[in-house]
Amino acid sequence: MENAAAEITLATKLQFLPGVGLDRSKRFQKLGLRTVRDLLFLFPRDYELPAPPASVTKLREGVPASLVGTITDAEIVSRTPGRSVFGAIVENDTGAVRILFFNQPFRADQLTFDRQVMISGEPKLNGLRWEFVHPKVTFLDEADNDGSPPRPRILPIYPLTDGVKQADLRRLTRDLLPPIVATLTEVMPDRLRSLAAESLRVAGIKLAGALPPIDTALQQIHHPDDEQSLLGARSRFVFQELLVMQLALAMRRRKLTTDLQAPPLPSSGIVEARILKRFSFDLTGDQKVTIAEVAADMQRQFPMNRLLQGDVGSGKTVVAIYAMMLAVANEHQAVLMAPTEVLARQHYQTLRQTLADSRVRIGLLCGSLGASERRDVLQRTASGEIDLLVGTQALLSDSVNFAKLGLCVIDEQHKFGVGQRVALRSGGVDPHYLVMSATPIPRSVAMTLFGDVELSTLKEKPPGRGTVNTYLSHDGWRDRWWAFVSQQLDEGRQAFVVAPRVDAGETDSDDTEDIASVETIFAELSNGPLAKYKVGLLHGRMPNDEKQSIMQQFASGDLQVLVSTTVIEVGIDVPNATVMTILGAQRFGLAQLHQLRGRVSRGTHAGHVCVFTDGPQSPEENERLKVFEKTNDGFELAEADFRMRGPGDMLGRKQSGLPPMRIADLTEDVQVLAVAREIAQAMIDDDPELAAEDLTELHGQVMRRYGKRLELGDAS
């Protein structure tokens, strides 16, 4: 049996620690703590900061305050059992206060004459004297372990479970740390810690000196000397955790480039000019940059894996067309997949227009095709007769075979769900992938979930875009709003009305009565405020040809108003539509609202969006709608959404395959994440297997934590 008094190491079981024992060690197990290592790497979730001491003259009734002083008088005022009262006077240069404890006679033994204390609590004025009842007391005359002058300390706050007290954990970590820290192995060599600190400072983190070595850092993360040391220690562990993750992702990016084979599809001046001639406008700066990135990716012999994010209307399709033309110019096929049939057809039309009178042969594959039409498309795809195939998820069917697929473009990828990789394979080589999304991914998610993907961003909008005004409706606004809509229609514009459900009978929750239904709305509007105008109805349950015909009529201006569910959400391009009414808006997420709004900012006229809610809203729903009204920047909205919902929603889906973070907070520590990513990439570029002698420990940590999950193989 282990001798508790002998040597305590990281591996020592908690039950063998003095003062713990078997019973209490079981409670620790509920927190996942079995060994000394578990305990010391359980990082505090927060800290209790000592309030800066005030002076007696500045005390205010009921406002929490701390005072430092000397006990100048102490006595038990009443000894009545069950009603004993102990009182003492704490005095300093600025005055004296009384402290009182009821039924705690033991206080008389601690709070004795002449002791130095700091008290914290809520002062009350009793006559002319300030009183603190049951204040928190810190003794300042007990020298610190290291013999430094006494001072109030920052205290760790640990996650707790039944039967484990804050005081237990504080005592254990305080006692265990000094002997243990000396035995720890450093994972990050000096050079790495200095480099990291330098970069973190550039990123705006106010570190003094290098990141602390493991012994100091572990001591300071639990029992910091001051806030600066705490910042240093926390930065070190956050950086280390994120660095380990980013090293793993960088190793994986590298591995993908060596394991997979794609056809090189290079561009040239002539090809480029021929493609660009197809557009009737000049590309935006961002489009040019992205196209250069895409061209550079596609000429390599491993697959491009690029995510193109750009707010609605930023012109992502141009980039897609460019990439597809590049594939065709290199005698390969390209496929473009969209989440809805409406959008797939729209892309098909756009491609046909853009490539009219060229030799590029374009096909369309979606669910509503007739059997013979479908057979024909499949056959021509397999024989290589079709160069560009546009379609919906129908493209994923087993019966779709390409003769020579070189590129796969996925539009509105957020509609397909995070992490979904599309498997379209053709003849042994892997196609290049271009994935497009109008829902910008928060930076931290892009650097983690999509950590092995290259990122391009279109921030700049094509010139001549109207602005969009967003209004949150107020009581009694309906009449005024419909009057405004009518006025816009009279000026020749068109309008969308969006509602969340198809019909009032559909139930998927317990409060369906309030749900605005497109069918009711359609009836109300076409018989009421918009009776003068041509109003159409569109929803997902209509037969496809009917949907097509309605969309067509709206696009051509035959319909002035389109009452619709969110089928119109993705990608629909009708520049003359400038007014949108969103009903039941509390049911939509921020990203979805923003997508909808994107439908009315596509022409040169200013867009107007009015948001109506039905029924009472929760404070979160309210908050969301306010943010939506305030900001029109998709990136800002995505970050706000991420902050409001927390990373759990996006990262917690477990599709990421990434383990949870122990100390880093992906919503807060984005700067550190960016620094870790940059350093990790440089390290892997320089030393792909982390073979340097002083990186052995770090390499081991990467493999233990991520090796299996990211299929990094056995790199040892």
Bridge partner residues of 95 (DSSP): 92
Residue 290 dihedral angles phi and psi, to the nearest 5°: -65, -40
Q: Which is nearer to ligand ADP, 68 or 318 (CB)?
A: 318
Q: Which of ligand ADP, Mg ion, none lies near 135, with the C-beta cut-off 5 to 8 A by kind?
A: none
The rounded radius of gyration (Å) of the Cα atoms in the chain is 33
Q: Which of Mg ion, ligand ADP, none lies near 529, with the C-beta cut-off 5 to 8 A by kind?
A: none
Q: Which is nearer to ligand ADP, 15 or 437 (CB)?
A: 437
Q: Which is nearer to Mg ion, 339 or 442 (CB)?
A: 339
Q: Which is nearer to Mg ion, 263 or 571 (CB)?
A: 571
315 binds ligand ADP (CB under 6 A): yes
Q: Could you tell me which stretch among 12-20, 175-183, 287-295, 563-571 binds Mg ion (CB under 5 A)?
A: 563-571
- Give the CB-nearest residue to ligand ADP: 315
Q: Which two tokens stand for residue 146?
A: 């290291």
Least distance between ligand ADP and beta carbon 286 (Å): 9
Rule CB under 6 A: which of 281-310 touch ligand ADP? 281, 283-284, 287, 310
Q: Which is nearer to Mg ion, 212 or 571 (CB)?
A: 571
Q: Could you tell me which stretch among 313-321, 475-483, 510-518, 676-684 binds ligand ADP (CB under 6 A)?
A: 313-321
Q: Which is nearer to Mg ion, 297 or 573 (CB)?
A: 573
598 binds Mg ion (CB under 5 A): no
- Give the CB-nearest residue to Mg ion: 571
x/- mask, ligand ADP, residues 170-209, rule CB under 6 A, reads ----------------------------------------
435 binds ligand ADP (CB under 6 A): no
Burial class (CB in 10 A: 0-12, 13-18, 19+), 279: middle
Query: Which residue is listed with tokens 């600190």?
Result: 197
- Distance CA(67)–CA(56), nearest Å, equals 8
Q: For residue 655, which of 391, 450, 498 has the smallest C-alpha distance?
A: 450
- Distance CA(162)–CA(662), nearest Å, equals 21
- Distance CA(219)–CA(182), nearest Å, equals 10
313 binds Mg ion (CB under 5 A): no
Q: How many residues bind ligand ADP (CB under 6 A)?
A: 17
Do the Cβ atoms of 703 and 716 come closer than 8 Å? yes
Q: Which two tokens stand for residue 586?
A: 């509390």
Which residues, other chains included, contact 116 with Cβ-Cβ below 8 Å and sequence gap of 6+? 68, 69, 70, 139, 140, 141, 150
Q: Which is nearer to ligand ADP, 284 or 586 (CB)?
A: 284
- Distance CA(244)–CA(236), nearest Å, equals 12
Q: For residue 411, which of 282, 483, 318 has the smallest C-alpha distance?
A: 318
Query: Which residue is listed with tokens 């983190």?
Result: 205
Rule CB under 6 A: which of 446-465 touch ligand ADP? 462
312 binds ligand ADP (CB under 6 A): yes
Strands (E), 560-706: 561-564, 577-582, 607-611
Q: Is 82 left (phi over 0), alpha (psi -120 to 50) or beta?
A: left
Bridge partner residues of 129 (DSSP): 126
Q: Which of ligand ADP, Mg ion, none lies near 318, with the C-beta cut-off 5 to 8 A by kind?
A: ligand ADP
x/- mask, ligand ADP, residues 228-267, rule CB under 6 A, reads ----------------------------------------
Q: Could you tell me which stretch among 167-175, 425-433, 443-451, 567-575 binds Mg ion (CB under 5 A)?
A: 567-575
By residue count, the chain amounts to 716
Which positions lie near ligand ADP, rule CB under 6 A?
281, 283-284, 287, 310, 312-318, 438, 462, 571, 573, 602
Which positions lie near Mg ion, rule CB under 5 A?
571
